[in-house]
Amino acid sequence: MLDFAAQYEAFRRRDSAWDGVVFVAVKTTGVYCRPVCPARTPLARNVSFYRSAAAAERGGFRPCLRCRPETAPFCPAWKGTRTTVERALTLIESGALDRGDVDELAQRLGVGSRHLSRLFAEHLDASPLQVALSLRIRRAKHLLDGTDLPIGLIAERAGFSSARRLTAAFARLYGKPPSAVRKRASASPKTATR
């Protein structure tokens, strides 16, 4: 770490390069901040520097309510709502919407279903159900290309509630049933060997 004078100068300038690298504790208030905090800069004699938020808390300081130093870069809270969307995507990939609905998913994430839908629209331009359908189709396509499983079993393994739903999804996306997509996939190697 740099010396005290260099750290204090970076804090005085609100240098964003130091955000998440150093934390500023103010002895007179008992609060610690990020170097970019908009609060008035305290006198140098009232300041001490820490390498992490945890170290400042261990030193007896509490987080500033303005700059929220516990959410400094590299912390999940730093990403804000993107963290919620990423957690939702992980759950969707593991089949949360294959067995449940958006309300249940939102409840697992600690948000409302309308808010979750708004976050998906903001970050992905798609709804949670659209994302889940896309993942199911991708799984089914992979199984169609790589196995000789019956369509009903592929539908089940891909997360569709029935073979009929799988067929309808393929018809909307590809304009043909899954069996036609499979025939093309199995026909391609034969033509390549001729």
By annotation, the residues acting in catalysis are 33, 37, 64, 67
Q: Closest by alpha carbon to 179, among 130, 135, 141, 125? A: 141
Q: Closest by alpha carbon to 115, among 84, 90, 148? A: 84
In sequence order, which residues have a C-beta less than 8 Å from that of residue 42 and are 6 or more positions away?
26, 28, 29
The 3-state secondary structure of 156-191 reads: HHHCCCCHHHHHHHHHHHHCCCHHHHHHHHHHHHHH
